[in-house]
Amino acid sequence: MHATHAITKGKTRTEHHHKSARDFSEAPVLLLDEHGMICDCNPGCEALFGYHRRELLQRHISMLLPQLDATELMRDGQPNPRLRFLCRVSHPFQAVSRDDGTFACDLFLNVINWEGRDSLSLIVHPILSTMHHEVAAA
């Protein structure tokens, strides 16, 4: 349960509710556990990768982002420093959609508390000039 503030008729009130990845953004968002398993995703992610949410839950992130297969995503409750660096310098990551199309994307990551544990929020930003073209692995 998270406290969020909503403004209604000029007044602030606190609402307690469960947020999922579906509430965060229109951009493709994945929530991952510390082992890289997909805990949730939003409609933007479903549209980008071509999978329904239920098909992605409890699957490893390498299904969508193969370069993260052997990557330790979190260390001591924080994102892997090298992964965080690569995201900050806009290193392109290879992504694979359901139809086996590959494209490059930028990743933006944050640690959030979701359902009482530290999870990785991963925003996927496709590099449109590479959509449906082969991307060399980094």
Counting the structural domains of the chain, the total is 1
Residue 106 lies in domain = 20-130
| 82 C-beta neighbours (distance < 10 Å), count | 11
| Residue 135 is assigned to a structural domain of this protein | no
| CATH number assigned to the domain comprising residue 39 | 3.30.450.20
Q: Tell me if the pTM is above 0.85.
A: no
| Distance of alpha carbon 76 from alpha carbon 74, whole angstroms | 7
| pLDDT by 10s per residue, the chain, length 138 | 333 233 233 333 323 333 444 455 589 999 999 899 999 999 999 999 999 999 999 999 999 999 999 889 988 888 999 999 999 999 999 999 999 899 999 999 998 887 778 889 999 999 976 444 444 444
| Residue 136 is assigned to a structural domain of this protein | no
Q: Give SS3 for 115.
A: coil
